[in-house]
Amino acid sequence: MKFSHSLLSISFSLLLSGISLGQVTQETPPKKDQTNNTKNTEEPKEKIPLVPPRAIPVEDDEPEVKKLTPGVFIPSGGTATLTEQADIDLFTKGKDIGNVQNNPKLPYRRLVQRTMMPTEKRPSYGFTLTFDDQLVSETPSDGLAIDIVKDLAPLRARSIFFANVPMVSGKSVNGIMVRNKSSAKRLAACKKLLESKREEFIKIIRSLIRVKSPADANGNAEYACEVYNHTAFHQNMSRLKVGSDRYKMCIMGIEFIEECLDAAYLAERPGWERARYFRFPFLHAPKYAETKAALNKTFTELGLISLGETQDSKDFDNFSHKQAYASLMAAKQNKRYNPKYGKYGQTEKPIALFHTKTWPKIKRGVIKAIISK
């Protein structure tokens, strides 16, 4: 893989900041309408002459670097989206790009929880829609991820899911802790439980990521959905201690989700190098310095970038379509939103956080915001 100067400098910054670029840049399988663009982003912008200028033949038959023309189809998640200055800033250590609470006194959140998705273009309707937790539910009144995708895809709106493993929770971890006395037995029980879910989980992910929005006038169709990592068990990670059994099970679960996502994407989108995002359950990053350092190392190895939000709907409190609508209308004006304080601060690429199961209750407000000017 060739790197442009800008990508190299990003890689360097990433090394400094301890975050891996490798998994962030996505190369989509070449299609005839995007090949030129992909090439463009990978070729150096300025060629450094190896010989003095006079010795260069007048007719240089080297192919020209093609300029990106408006109207060229860039699929969401393409490498080209990394060229924006904002995305370069994202990986520059010490650069203040905002954080979840917009409070500069939270250095760790600035380091780990980002509020931009470098691989997502800002859509025409103004905000990136993310949905957390279980993709499926046994409770009939709960929303399902596939319903969200089917409702939003016709509007050419993308649904981004942060998923846990179906039908397990923090209680599963507590149960494993109580029933097994040794570390080895606990980890084995955790592995067994996760393995029993693998096939079903991959199948659910596949059913989502294969959906496309209707093609535009040029025949280009976007994938309507992506799935990312929200831990297997939705544990609160704030008090995790490195080396503890709970920590090991948590990491095992995070790795398990990555494996299932890899398998699902490989099956549905061969050749697609997916982005890798992570969201902390309850947005709670670990408190302890040692845990933070270990986790940052794991994230780097897995290529995970932690994502926060700028448009908090607090829908788990009020299940309100009005709240959802208000937060998304604030996003259109580049404002962050908090249900308690209303609009505040500023955001260039608003990220809304909802919960998959609340979809039947918030759907009206989300769709109204998508279609309103």
Residues that bind Zn ion (CB under 5 A): 132-133, 281
170 burial via Cβ count (<10 Å: 0-12, 13-18, 19+)? middle
Burial of 159 (0-12, 13-18, 19+ CB in 10 A): buried
Q: For residues 357 and 308, what is the distance between their CA atoms, to the nearest angstrom?
A: 19
Shortest Cβ 357–Zn ion spacing (Å): 10
Contact 250, 172 (CB under 8 A): no
Nearer to Zn ion, 74 or 283 (CB): 283
Q: Compute how many other C-beta atoms are within 10 angstroms of the C-beta atom of residue 277.
A: 25
* CA-to-CA separations, 170 to 101, 233, 236, 293, 325, in angstroms, rounded: 25, 5, 8, 23, 31
Minimal distance in Å, beta carbon 95 to Zn ion? 28
Nearest approach, Cβ of 282 to Zn ion (angstroms)? 6
Q: What's the min distance (Å) between Cβ of 4 and Zn ion? A: 36
Smallest distance, Å, CB 137 to Zn ion? Answer: 13
> H or E element: which one contains 203?
helix 183-209
The CB-of-279 to Zn ion minimum distance in angstroms stands at 7
Q: In the numeric block, which tokens belong to residue 19? A: 């975050």
Of 126 and 253, CB closest to Zn ion:
253
How far apart are CB 133 and Zn ion at their closest, in Å? Answer: 5
Please tell me the distance from the alpha carbon of residue 128 to that of residue 18, in angstroms, as a whole number: 26
Nearer to Zn ion, 133 or 315 (CB): 133
User: H helices of 43-104, where?
Assistant: 85-90
Give strand pairing partners of 128: 351
DSSP state of 278: E
Place of tokens 């800002």: 122
d(Cα 335, Cα 245) in Å, to the nearest integer?
41
When the beta carbons of 321 and 357 are compared against Zn ion, the nearer one is 357
CB of 232 to Zn ion, least distance (A): 12
User: Between 75 and 286, whose beta carbon lies closer to Zn ion?
Assistant: 286
- Which residue is closest to Zn ion by CB? 132
Contact 168, 231 (CB under 8 A): no
Q: Which is nearer to Zn ion, 125 or 256 (CB)?
A: 256
Structure tokens, 22: 């490798």
Closest to Zn ion by CB, 87 vs 133, is 133
| Closest to Zn ion by CB, 132 or 309 | 132
The smaller minimum CB distance to Zn ion, of residues 169 and 180, is found at: 169
Listed residue (108, 10, 168) closest to 306, CA to CA: 108
Shortest distance (Å) from residue 197 CB to Zn ion? 17
Coil/strand/helix, residue 266: helix
Both structure tokens of 359: 């979809």
